[in-house]
Amino acid sequence: MFETIYYSVNSIDGDYAYLKREGSEDGELKCVARALLPMEISEGCRLVYEMMQYSICQ
């Protein structure tokens, strides 16, 4: 039911971050409000999306 998805932070622009899904063949970026992401993110870091929440991948 709930899929685990890995993203990398491609860029940060003000209140939004642009994420690239790992393993995705299309180059499409996902725009996500920074309020939904961990405060510690930076460009290039890896995120995991599980159970409708984003967290930094260790």
Nearest of 34, 38, 42, 46 to residue 5 by alpha carbon = 46
Q: pLDDT tens digits for 22-56?
A: 988 888 999 999 999 999 999 999 999 999 999 99
Nearest of 44, 45, 41, 48 to residue 15 by alpha carbon = 41
Q: What is the pTM of this model?
A: 0.89
The pLDDT, as a whole number, for residue 20 is: 97
Tally of CB atoms within 10 A around 11: 12
